[in-house]
Amino acid sequence: MSTEERNPDLVLDQILSEIRDEPIDPAVLESAAARVRTGLGQAAGVSLRVCADYRNLIPAWLDGSLPEARRLLVEDHTRECPACRKAFQAARAPKPVAIAAPKRSAFRERWAAWAMAAALLLAAGLGGLWLWNRYGGVPEGTRATLQTVDGTLVRAAADAPPVAPGAAFGERETFRTAKGSTAVVRLRDGSLVELAERTELSVSERREGATINLAGGRIIVQAAKQRSRHLYVATEDCTVSVTGTVFSVNHGVKGSRVAVIEGEVRVTQGNQTKVLRPGEQTSTSADLEPVAVRDEFAWSRNADTYFALLKEFSVLRGKLEAIPAPGLRYSSRLLDFVPEGTVFYAAVPNFGPNLAEGHRLFREQIQQSAVLRQWWKAQTKPGGGEPPLEEMIARLRSFSDYLGREIVLASAPNAKGEHQTPLVMAEVARGGFRAFLETEMAKTKGGAPVAIVEDAAQLPLSAGNGKRLFVLLRSGVVAASIDPAQLRKAAALIDRPGSGAFSKSPFRARIEEAYRAGAGWLFSADLQPMLAARRADETLRRAGVEGPRYLVVERKEVAGKTTNSAALTFAGARNGIASWLASPAPNRALDFVSPEASFAVGAVAKAPAQMLDDLMAMFSASNRDLPSRLHGFETLTGVGLRTDLAARLGGEMAFAVDGPLLPKPSWKLVLEVSDPAGLQAAIEKLTAVAGGQLRMEKLLVGGQTFYSLRGPQAGQEAHYVFSNGFLVAAPDRTLLTRALEVRQSGDSLPRSAKFIALLPRDSHVNFSGVLYYNAGAAGEVLSGLLPGGEKLSPEQRRAAATFAATPAAVVAYGEGDRIRVAAAGSGLFGWQPEHLLLAPKFRHPK
Amino acid sequence: MSATASSTVVDPAAGIESVFREHHQRVFRAAYRITGNATDAEDVLQSVFLRLLGRRPDAAPVINLACYLHRAAVNAALDLVRIRQHSLDLPADYAGPAPRRDPRESRLLLRQAIARLSPKAAEIFVLRYFEGYDNPEIAQMLGLSVSDVAVTLHRSRARLKEEICHEH
């Protein structure tokens, strides 16, 4: 595209002089003057000073006997004076008024056309017809049909008789429920409106959708799916716009209150619009206090039992969360007994007491709540029943009583490199364990295939058929495995702790490091042996993937807050792709993301130019001609990939979906830019080379230049803008403006309290990367997309929506020799009772 | 071109005919320059004189009829351009014209941009660049200081330059 570098002053002056020099045809001027003069000449004799004077003219104006001059003055006055304009319009009788006088010359064509149209429309005799033409066709027929009524529903006309189900209401026909009555009305599109007592409303419909005009009272709307139409609920002071949801509107003297159960609703009051999600509500007046969403629905005869259930679950969840988790462990005696060559080590806290307590609470809650009891009955097959579950838990409980604070699993590959079954170990905290085990084994039918020994010498040499479990009890430690060889190694270590090769290995050191920081649930793996096989792959090596040595995944609870984390430790300083994540630092790209974003990912990376170098190094190994092809591309376009593009970018970046998801997702991309002008020049060069495929446009609005790139087809477009050292891109300009506003106001995602609350608790002030999602109402949509989602019952679907709607944030830290990813968790090991609703019907083990 | 000022105290209603004869061309031209079309200019012409006619007897006497009419024309015309802008979908969603700007279009854009200035700045700008008054005259007409006028003009120019000088 050509850019004319013209001096703005010259341009401006040029246009100004063109305007000044525009010729005015004298004939045109004089004929205009003549028309005006005629009117004035007659108006001169008139004294019309105040509105009353004008209104005195209404009768004459109506029957067309007003002299030209006065009519002119009336026209002029009513244009300026709204009160008189209304007075004149109100006085218009529904019969043709010969305003369109043949003396066309006294009017301009425009006025004549208006007057003609007004006369025609009035001649039809109905103000409503004018509305018809303006809004382009209103559907025929009933607006609403009465489905059921519990009590009395009448049309608003005074003393109308009660209306029976099946009755139809027309456009704007008002009806209301009597005291103590409720009713359900069905709209043309299938939406259901439930009316509480003393509720009055009417329904009007236009091409673009239907409106429920709520004069007073309370309604609950179950809106049918609105494809291209809208459903509105209008009260005196606000308008609620709806797309497929369940919500309630309560309108009274003090204002309106809107509460949402399902879906998303927009409430417009004056010039402010609010979006409400499930569980949220708003009132139009400060005098109207918010009320628990449940209570807004409490009056409904069909109050959804789902809510009752949900409430029970949240109570249960509260109680479960109150159970303190087993404390953190800072060292482990069992580490000393881990055999050489172990590549996998896991330590889980002994949570027997917690499990028992949880079960106890569950039973207690079932006793107290009929709803829960009913649900539980429906879940478990009759006769299949509870006793086995109870028993199982009791046994587990007593078993765990004998053990120490943790249970350890260690696994090492055998000579062939295959993994073996884990060696399980625990400390024995109480005497009489052997006797207990033997009793338990006796209870099992047919005798359990378990062999208990206290001396390794008693172990057979081989595993036999692999079905026997060998248990060693020695020196206050219990170790079990199906492989006696493993046990033997363990026994040797139990006798002489710290003697094995494992005690000195770096893997053990890494595990100890995890303990020192406090261990809850700990899983760690030594990746070297696994990756050794793939060492030969050059690409991987250059990708830095060869580097990782240990993976440690943990879950722990600190002061009531649960954190899940995974850390990947490398052999030395990270290199290749692994090094792309920079050290924790503030990420200002996230400042362009609003707290209402449904999805956001942000990262602080190392310099993009270096990342490009890494990529080049990685791929050059396999594609030898890559450098020369790249060079060719750069010569052709005049744009150096590294020098003109990558070098001009900084390391802070963010991508978010921030705004409506339909019809197009409102994405935005934010990149740190060190040289905006240079980058823009490079982009322009690339666009020029792309020829017809890509078009760039610029728009200057309020001192900010907005760029847009459009592809050949409609809808393929992206807009971007440079602001404060960042490039911000989005599908349209409104989103860009919004992003700039977010940053300007400081009310952005990283500063919002709810985001900060989601971050895991640890010693870091900043993070290197973050992934955040808060699907909100979209959770329902997303749950439908789950595999097998169609098979979910509505209850399960809603539970899934709640689950998906829970906001979550996962955070990454790029530390010197490792990358750590962490997320806050909750519930009993991350499980919340609501998840039960998701599970297929619960079957008891036989 | 410079305007001549006649200082006579005049009762506009008496002898509207002669006032009209003397000043209608100037009013029409000023309105035309601002609105860009004859229909709107005629509209303004009518408004200005009707209002003159409709002035209450106890309103302040018009000292300088020419200036009064000139300013009235300018302001009425600017109002009209503003109103027209609101009823159309304009530059906010403007997709961009052809690469070579049509001069007529440039003038339209500038007119609209002028109307988007604050009413006072717009009036000052028009009086200076369309009607040819100089800064001291404008200052006197509007009851401002000369430096106020100069500063406002400078700012208006800067803003207009920005608005019209985006490229496509």
Please tell me which of the candidates B33, B56, B168 has its beta carbon nearest to residue A19: B33
Between A621 and B157, where is the model more confident? Answer: B157
Of A766, A758, A771, give the one whose Cα is nearest residue A814. Answer: A766
Asked whether B167 and B99 are in contact (CB, 8 A), the reply is no
By DSSP bridging, strand A230-234 and strand A209-222 are parallel
Neighbours of A629 (CB within 10 A): 10
A597-602 mean pLDDT: 88
Q: ∠ CA(B105), CA(B110), CA(B113), 5° rounding?
A: 125
Identify all chain B residues contacting A1, using CB atoms and an 8 Å cutoff: 99, 168
ipTM for this model: 0.83
Going by the DSSP 8-state scheme, the letter that residue A833 receives in this structure is: G
Please tell me which of the candidates B41, B53, B95 has its beta carbon nearest to residue A40: B53
B26-39 mean pLDDT: 91
Of A760, A747, A764, A739, give the one whose Cα is nearest residue A809. Answer: A760
Identify all chain A residues contacting B57, using CB atoms and an 8 Å cutoff: 49
> What is the distance between the alpha carbons of residues B151 and A120, in angstroms, rounded to a whole number?
54
For residue A266, the cross-strand partners are A241, A275
- At A616 the pLDDT is 82
A402-423 mean pLDDT: 79
pLDDT band (50, 70, 90) for residue A291: low
- Classify A552 as helix, strand or coil: strand
Of A382, A430, A377, give the one whose Cα is nearest residue A404. Answer: A430
Q: Residue-wise over B17-43: b if at least 16 C-beta within 10 A, else e?
A: eebbeebbeebbbbbbbbbbebebbbb
Shortest alpha-carbon distance between residue B67 and chain A (Å): 19
pLDDT reading at A842 higher than 70: no
Shortest alpha-carbon distance between residue A14 and chain B (Å): 10
- At A780 the pLDDT is 52
Between A723 and A830, where is the model more confident? Answer: A723
- At A803 the pLDDT is 56
Residues with Cβ within 8 Å of residue A480, at least 6 apart in sequence: A423, A424, A425, A469, A470, A471, A472, A487
Q: How far is CA A786 from CA A240, A264, A809, A840, in A?
A: 30, 20, 21, 14
Q: Which residue bears the tokens 């046990």?
A: A487
- At A381 the pLDDT is 52
Give pLDDT tens digits for B62-78: 677 788 888 999 999 99
Question: Does the distance separating the beta carbons of B16 and A40 come in below 8 Å?
Answer: yes
Which of B46, B83, B114 best probes binding to A when mutated, by most A CB atoms within 10 angstroms?
B46
Q: How much is the mean pLDDT over chain A?
A: 76
Question: Does the distance separating the beta carbons of A701 and B92 come in below 8 Å?
Answer: yes
Shortest alpha-carbon distance between residue B149 and chain A (Å): 19
> What is the distance between the alpha carbons of residues A459 and A665, in angstroms, rounded to a whole number?
65
Which of A6, A20, A40 best probes binding to B when mutated, by most B CB atoms within 10 angstroms?
A40
Alpha helices in B3-145 (DSSP H): 16-35, 38-53, 65-86, 103-116, 119-129, 135-142
Neighbours of A259 (CB within 10 A): 26
* pTM (predicted TM-score): 0.48
Of A299, A259, A297, give the one whose Cα is nearest residue A279. Answer: A259
Asked whether A508 and A502 are in contact (CB, 8 A), the reply is yes
Question: Does the distance separating the beta carbons of A49 and B56 come in below 8 Å?
Answer: yes
Of A298, A302, A296, A268, give the one whose Cα is nearest residue A281. Answer: A296
A253-266 mean pLDDT: 71
φ and ψ of A506, to 5 deg: -60, -30
Please tell me which of the candidates B29, B42, B106 has its beta carbon nearest to residue A15: B106
Q: Which residue bears the tokens 């449904």?
A: A598
pLDDT band (50, 70, 90) for residue A289: low
A632-650 mean pLDDT: 83
Tokens of B104: 């007529």
- Classify A105 as helix, strand or coil: helix
Count chain A–chain B contacts defined by CB atoms under 8 A: 126
- At B98 the pLDDT is 41
Asked whether A312 and A371 are in contact (CB, 8 A), the reply is yes
Asked whether A291 and A258 are in contact (CB, 8 A), the reply is no
Chain A residues at the B interface, defined by Cβ less than 8 Å, are 1-4, 6, 8-9, 11-12, 15-16, 18-20, 22, 24-25, 28-29, 32-33, 35-37, 39-41, 43-44, 48-49, 72-73, 76-77, 108, 110, 697-701, 703, 705
Please tell me which of the candidates A16, A49, A108 has its beta carbon nearest to residue B39: A108
Give pLDDT tens digits for A745-795: 888 888 888 788 788 777 677 888 998 887 665 555 555 555 554 555 565
pLDDT reading at A527 higher than 90: no
Identify all chain B residues contacting A27, using CB atoms and an 8 Å cutoff: none
- Classify A148 as helix, strand or coil: strand
A824: left (phi over 0), alpha (psi -120 to 50) or beta: beta
Closest Cα in chain A to B20: A37
Asked whether A123 and A95 are in contact (CB, 8 A), the reply is yes
A801-822 mean pLDDT: 77
Residues with Cβ within 8 Å of residue A344, at least 6 apart in sequence: A409, A410, A411, A412, A419, A422, A523, A524, A525, A526
φ and ψ of B130, to 5 deg: -105, -40
